[in-house]
């Protein structure tokens, strides 16, 4: 079984058997393909007799999106497994355990997280995750700091940058986040009732300038190893545990892109509360919970990042008075800008989110969509002058009563 | 002759013979090693009977600097030859012709430029180069634009970034330009009469903040493929011709680093006019010539860069109104900052320039050194607020009468 081919359920079991000290020697294994089949095969391999289980994830050489099939590099499986190993080392316990990787077969064998739910789903079901802000700020501060020139040897970093070039998956981001939503592109997809809002988006040149600058940062600022796709669909969660998954978009880019992805997806859910909360009181509580989570994430991230800088910085020059202050302010600005960009694309671009699209009532959905566009465009336009996370919060709260 | 070993003069001739259609079939070849032996072997191989000649340049696996021997990657020969081929394609005629490369032997066989002089030497001898501003602005505009996300496919650029990771040679820049001159580092070297000025440099925290920000740009902004060491010692020149050589420091960094290197070296020469010009009248003319060259370089660069953007840009998003203006202003600011950083290091750091060090009179030399430090530190401190190249020129002219 050396050359690449998509695995059968039987082959998934054979490979899973080879993991040392995992399954009991006696006892049958069962395999079930649980992926959506668009990008990857995902086998859940379990041993009923021992109660042990794991996941065999294999990349497919194409992506099925809106019916079309795009060829897609299998190298993303290598990138994903290498990113997971780095994240596990830097933010231990916040990603699934990795048992085995095989670049030729484009597969990773990892911890079964069936005890967790996908955070997007959990939020739509009203879930509350009191550990999340602390966990995700930990993940962000540690993975970003220790893969940047502040926290790792600058020459070793250059070799990592080389290893995570990832042009094909970056292309998806560059097109679908920073280009297509702002022009009449074929890939765009939006509800017809939004045509006027979308026309406004396409003709707003002040917005386009800011998007061009954000796109430039994504293209050129190799600040740290990003997860690259850190939305609430890439997070497995319980009230006690957070596990970040699927870093196949990993590459060296601006830190604010990852932080912004988290905040954007909380704000997408925030904007949809007229549907997801049963009544006005629940809605108020829910919005406050989401806003407080956003505040906690930024404040904890900033505190942890500064502590790492002060205690574990590797760069003499970074001790220059005022530099940390300047750096963190630029991080905040980038975060706010990328938060906005990550919101707008979910309404107008190719890939949407269930928080919005699963609102059945078109009027309620339209309202949520307009709240997202209002917050997103305001964040993009204001990012370069921001000085506090409260400015993002004020913009979100003002738009929630649109 | 497959595995790496330093070539003998005889072997250099053997390899030179293999270049098709270069030397006449009849007629002996002569070889002369003309390198300084610190980093590379440089063989001048000629055929007296035909009058043909070429250069065989081979990298040595170490660098001899101040008596010490540092191991240094042979991969720099691959980087140098690949950079030369790219520069030749993008700015044809402004780099030596390449006849042959061999990565295993770490060698490049190229055009003999004996008809040219090294520009630093030429300037010290009072040379005037009326084509230089036009040529070097051409080189800069074309090589920087067409290797950036503005002028080349963004995915192909990522593969080029990977190919030019160049950690070892970047380390030299990171240490010797952006770190050591601002602290009491062992590698520093400066005239004892400068101790007070150097103490001031080491305690100037406002300066250190700006240096930290410039260093961050060098470390993280993969804007375009830089030459990486574009001083007047890397330029062969005649009044009619300009050839940029030695791009072994090539890597993807901020465009302003290359532009700043050129301006810095003109200003280093500018600061030394009390010695290099025979009388006050010559001195005035010479300073005006150098200042006008600097102005011409920036203005021509800006004009050519904008024309390339308008006529050959590949990025739809880059057409956003105001973006080009914002981008060019940031380029100017980076250029001014890096110009300053490239000046200061030549007075305090490890590697100096002959324009300054060959001034025999200590008082005259000290004055030139203080002019360099005054211009350099002012440029570094003012870079983030600059809006015109005239600000750099004003700073230089004010300091020249110190």
Q: pLDDT at residue A88 above 60?
A: yes
Looking at the domain covering B9-111, what would its CATH class be?
A: alpha beta
Q: pLDDT at residue A68 above 70?
A: no
Query: Is A111 annotated among the ligand-binding residues?
Result: yes
Mean per-residue pLDDT, A374-400:
97
pLDDT digits (tens, 9 = 90+) for A176-189: 999 999 999 999 99
Helix or strand run (H / E) with residue B253: strand B251-253
Mean of per-residue pLDDT scores for chain A: 96
Residues in a beta bridge with B42: B57
Q: Looking at the partner chain, which of A212, A213, A321 has a beta carbon nearest the beta carbon of B209?
A: A321
- Shortest distance between the Cα of B356 and any Cα of chain A, in A, equals 27
Q: Do A149 and B220 touch (CB under 8 A)?
A: yes
Region of A46 on the Ramachandran plot (φ > 0 left; ψ -120 to 50 alpha; else beta): beta
* CA neighbor of A317 nearest in space, from B189, B208, B169, B338: B208
Residue ranges per domain, chain B?
Answer: 9-111, 117-400
> pLDDT class for B259, splitting at 50, 70, 90?
very high
Same fold, A9-111 and A117-400: no
Closest chain B residue by Cα to residue A323: B209
Q: Who contacts B213 (Cβ-Cβ below 8 Å, separation ≥6)? A: A323, A326, B337, B384
Q: pLDDT at residue A2 above 90?
A: no
Q: Looking at the partner chain, which of B171, B219, B320 has a beta carbon nearest the beta carbon of A212?
A: B320
Query: Is A310 annotated among the ligand-binding residues?
Result: no
Alpha helices in B153-253 (DSSP H): 154-163, 167-176, 195-203, 205-220
Chain B residues in contact with A208 by the CB 8 A cut-off are 317, 320-321, 323
Query: Is A229 annotated among the ligand-binding residues?
Result: yes
At A50 the pLDDT is 96
Chain B residues in contact with A182 by the CB 8 A cut-off are 317
Three-state SS string across chain A, please?
Answer: CCCCCCCCHHHHHHHHHCCCCCCCCCCCCEEEECCCCCCEEEEEEEECCCCEEEEEEEECCEEEECCEEEECCCHHHHHHHHHHHHHHHHCCCCCCCEEEEECCCCEEEEECCCCCEEHHHHHHCCCCCCCHHHHHHHHHHHHHHHCCCCCCCHHHHHHHHHHCCCHHHHHHHHHHCCCHHHCCCCCCCCCHHHHHHHHHHHHCHHHHHHHHHHHHHHHHECCEEECCCCCHHHEEEECCEEEECCCCCCEEECHHHHHHHHHHHHHHHHCCHHHHCCCHHHHHHHHHHHHHHHHHHHHHHHHHHHHHHHHHCCCHHHHCCCHHHHHHHHHHHHHHHHHHHHHHHHHHCCCCCHHHHCCCCHHHHHHHHHHHHHHHHHHHHHHHHCCCHHHHHHHHHHHHCC
Query: Is B40 annotated among the ligand-binding residues?
Result: yes
pLDDT digits (tens, 9 = 90+) for B286-316: 999 999 999 999 999 999 999 999 999 999 9
Mean per-residue pLDDT, A334-339:
98
Closest chain B residue by Cα to residue A156: B167
> pLDDT class for A13, splitting at 50, 70, 90?
very high
For chain A, the C-alpha Rg in angstroms (whole number) is 21
Query: Is A362 annotated among the ligand-binding residues?
Result: no
**Token pair for B76:** 């720099």
> pLDDT class for A35, splitting at 50, 70, 90?
confident
Q: Do A170 and B161 touch (CB under 8 A)?
A: no
At A318 the pLDDT is 98
Q: Looking at the partner chain, which of B167, B205, B220 has a beta carbon nearest the beta carbon of A155?
A: B167
CATH number for the segment(s) B117-400: 3.90.1200.10
Q: Do B154 and A170 touch (CB under 8 A)?
A: yes
Query: What number of CA atoms fall less than 13 Å from residue A69's CA on the CB side?
Result: 5
pLDDT digits (tens, 9 = 90+) for B41-76: 999 999 999 999 999 999 998 876 655 577 888 999
Chain A residues in contact with B323 by the CB 8 A cut-off are 208-209, 212-213
Q: B98, exposed or middle or buried, with CB in 10 Å at 0-12, 13-18, 19+?
A: middle
> pLDDT class for A67, splitting at 50, 70, 90?
low
At A141 the pLDDT is 98
pLDDT digits (tens, 9 = 90+) for A240-267: 999 999 999 999 999 999 999 999 999 9
Residue count of chain B: 402
Chain A residues in contact with B320 by the CB 8 A cut-off are 205, 208-209, 211-212
Q: pLDDT at residue B129 above 70?
A: yes
Q: pLDDT at residue B36 above 70?
A: yes
Q: Which residue has the higher pLDDT, A28 or A35?
A: A28
DSSP letter assigned to residue B8: P
Residues in a beta bridge with B61: none
pLDDT digits (tens, 9 = 90+) for B320-375: 999 999 999 999 999 999 999 999 999 999 999 999 999 999 999 999 999 999 99
pLDDT digits (tens, 9 = 90+) for A110-150: 999 999 999 999 999 999 999 999 999 999 999 999 999 99
Contacts across the A-B interface (CB distance below 8 Å): 112
CA A245, A288, A214, A121 dihedral sign is positive
Q: ipTM for the complex?
A: 0.95
């Amino acid at each position: 079984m050396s050359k690449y081919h998509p695995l059968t359920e039987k082959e998934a079991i054979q490979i899973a058997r080879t993991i040392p000290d995992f399954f009991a020697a006696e006892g049958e294994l069962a395999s079930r393909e649980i992926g959506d089949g668009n990008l990857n095969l995902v086998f859940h391999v379990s041993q009923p007799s021992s109660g042990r289980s794991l996941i065999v994830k294999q990349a497919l050489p194409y992506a099925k999106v809106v019916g079309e099939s795009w060829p897609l590099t299998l190298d993303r499986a290598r990138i994903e497994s290498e990113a997971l190993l780095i994240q596990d080392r830097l933010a231990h316990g916040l990603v699934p355990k990795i048992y085995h990787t095989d670049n030729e077969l484009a597969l990773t064998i990892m911890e079964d997280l069936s005890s967790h739910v996908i955070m997007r789903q959990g939020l739509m079901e009203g879930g509350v995750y009191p550990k999340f802000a602390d966990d995700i700020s930990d993940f962000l501060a540690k993975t970003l700091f220790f893969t940047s020139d502040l926290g790792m040897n600058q020459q070793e970093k250059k070799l990592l940058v080389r290893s995570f070039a990832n042009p094909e998956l970056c292309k998806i981001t560059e097109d679908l986040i920073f280009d297509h939503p702002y022009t009449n592109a074929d890939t765009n997809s939006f509800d017809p009732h939004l045509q006027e809002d979308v026309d406004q988006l396409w003709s707003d040149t002040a917005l386009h300038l800011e998007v061009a600058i954000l796109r430039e940062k994504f293209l050129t600022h190799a600040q740290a190893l990003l997860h690259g796709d850190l939305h609430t669909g890439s997070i497995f969660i319980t009230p006690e545990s957070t596990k970040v998954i699927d870093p196949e978009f990993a590459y060296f880019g601006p830190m604010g892109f990852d932080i912004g992805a988290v905040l954007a997806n909380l704000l997408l859910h925030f904007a949809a509360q007229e549907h997801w909360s049963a009544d006005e009181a629940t809605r108020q509580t829910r919005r406050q919970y989401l806003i407080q989570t956003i505040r906690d994430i930024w404040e904890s991230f900033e505190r942890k990042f500064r502590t790492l800088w002060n205690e574990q910085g590797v760069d003499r020059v970074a001790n220059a008075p005022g530099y940390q202050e300047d750096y963190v302010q630029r991080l905040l600005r980038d975060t706010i800008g990328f938060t906005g960009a990550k919101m707008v694309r979910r309404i107008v671009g190719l890939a949407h989110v269930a928080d919005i699209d699963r609102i059945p009532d078109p009027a309620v959905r339209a309202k949520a969509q307009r709240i997202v566009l209002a917050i997103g465009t305001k964040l993009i336009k204001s990012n370069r002058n921001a000085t506090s996370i409260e400015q993002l919060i004020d913009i979100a709260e003002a738009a929630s009563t649109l």
